[in-house]
């Protein structure tokens, strides 16, 4: 290793991954991973969120799972909580939507209303 930049490059590659092991994060992404969620395809959703968060070093975001919240017909469900903001619940997610939500909501603060549970066209 001849320069600090080389060290920095490795560090940047690792820092997102090491962040998974840190506690005390204020933003939470919770993916429903009960049988209903998994059957509806929650696993790639969870994985996608986790990847986007790690690749972009979103050090304040925790991506975790939860059980069934009783809205099985809308699974995969993802809830995003930011401090001081109301919880946003996204429904009928898939990996592509998850990427979009992660990039817009988590990184830019833009809620994609179209995918949320409040969108009356989805909830019939």
Partner 1 sequence: MFRSHVLVCGGTGCIATGSENIINALNEEIKKAGLENEVGVVRTGCFGLCSLGPVMMVHPEGCFYSAVDVKDIPEIVSEHLLKGRIVERLLYRETVEDGGIKSLNNTAFYKKQFRIALRNCGVINPESIDEYIGVDGYQALGNVLTSMSPEQVIQIVLDSGLRGRGGGGFPTGRKWDLARKLVPDADQKFVCCNADEGDPGAFMDRSILEGDPHALIEAMAIAGYAIGATMGYIYIRAEYPIAVKRLEIAIQQAKDYGLLGEDIFGSGFNFDLEIRLGAGAFVCGEETALMISIEGNRGEPRPRPPFPAEKGLFGKPTILNNVETYANIPQIILKGAEWFTSIGTEKSKGTKVFALGGKINNTGLVEIPMGMSLREVVYEIGGGIPDGKKFKAAQTGGPSGGCISVENLDIPIDYDNLISIGSMMGSGGLIVMDEDNCMVDIAKFFLEFTVDESCGKCTPCRIGTKRLFEMLEDITAGNGTMEDLDEMVELCEYIKNNSLCGLGQTAPNPVLSTYHYFKDEYIQHVRDKKCAAGICTELTQYIISADKCVGCTLCKKVCPVDAIVGEVKQKHVIDQSKCVKCGVCVDACKKFGAITKG
Number of helical H runs and strand E runs in the chain: 5, 4
Determine, following the binding rule CB under 8 A, whether residue 113 of this chain makes contact with partner 1. Answer: no
Rounded to whole angstroms, the Cα distance separating 79 from 69 reads: 11
Rounded to whole angstroms, the Cα distance separating 120 from 1 reads: 57
Determine, following the binding rule CB under 8 A, whether residue 107 of this chain makes contact with partner 1. Answer: no
* Whole-Å CA distances, 58 to 5, 22, 73, 121: 21, 12, 31, 32
Binding mask 37-76 for partner 1 (x = CB under 8 A): -x----x--xx-xxx--xx------xxxxxx---------
Binding mask 11-30 for partner 1 (x = CB under 8 A): x-xxx-xx-xx-xxx-----
The DSSP H or E segment spanning 45 is helix 42-55
Determine, following the binding rule CB under 8 A, whether residue 87 of this chain makes contact with partner 1. Answer: no
Total interface residues for partner 1 by CB under 8 A = 36
Using CB under 8 A, list all residues that contact partner 1.
1-4, 7, 10-11, 13-15, 17-18, 20-21, 23-25, 31, 33-35, 38, 43, 46-47, 49-51, 54-55, 62-67
């Amino acid at each position: 290793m001849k320069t600090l930049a080389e060290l920095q490059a490795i560090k940047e590659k690792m820092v997102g991954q090491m962040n998974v092991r840190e506690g005390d994060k204020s933003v939470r992404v919770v993916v429903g991973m009960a049988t209903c969620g998994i059957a509806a395809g929650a696993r790639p959703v969870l994985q996608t969120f986790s990847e986007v968060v790690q690749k972009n070093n979103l050090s304040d975001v925790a991506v975790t799972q939860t059980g069934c919240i009783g809205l099985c017909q809308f699974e995969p469900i993802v809830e995003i909580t930011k401090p001081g903001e109301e919880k946003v619940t996204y429904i009928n997610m898939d990996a592509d939507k998850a990427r979009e939500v992660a990039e817009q909501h988590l990184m830019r603060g833009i809620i994609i209303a179209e995918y949320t549970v409040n969108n009356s066209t989805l909830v019939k």
